[in-house]
Amino acid sequence: MDSAFEGKPRTADQPVGIVGVARVGGDVFAAKAPMVDKLATEISLLAGLNLSLFLLNMLPLLPLDGGHIAGALWEALRRNSAGCSAAPTRARSTWPS
């Protein structure tokens, strides 16, 4: 937190934003390592970013998809509980007799 607001240098165990992720990705490709290791590191970096976006998106806040999922689950629970407690009704046919 101090590095964000007070200009202190960031330590390696602090979270970074999308600019930091891009910087880390560039540092990986600039490193002197075999290409296979670089690609494996980049793929794991992208997988971690994708997983964090998935978890953020699943938060049950209305603008996010998690809010829509939570709303759909709530409606399904209400529909099922109403179906269990209500007396069954006979459907009327619109077919001419």
Please write the tens of the pLDDT for every residue from 72-90. 888 888 888 766 655 555 6
Q: What's the pLDDT score for residue 8? A: 78
Please write the tens of the pLDDT for every residue from 33-60. 899 999 999 999 899 989 988 888 887 7
Q: What's the pLDDT score for residue 61? A: 73
Q: What's the pLDDT score for residue 82? A: 67
Whether the predicted model's global pTM rises above the 0.75 cut: no
Please give the C-alpha separations between residue 5 and each of 19, 36, 70, in angstroms, as whole numbers.
17, 38, 35
Instruction: Please count the other Cβ atoms lying within 10 Å of the Cβ belonging to residue 68.
Output: 12
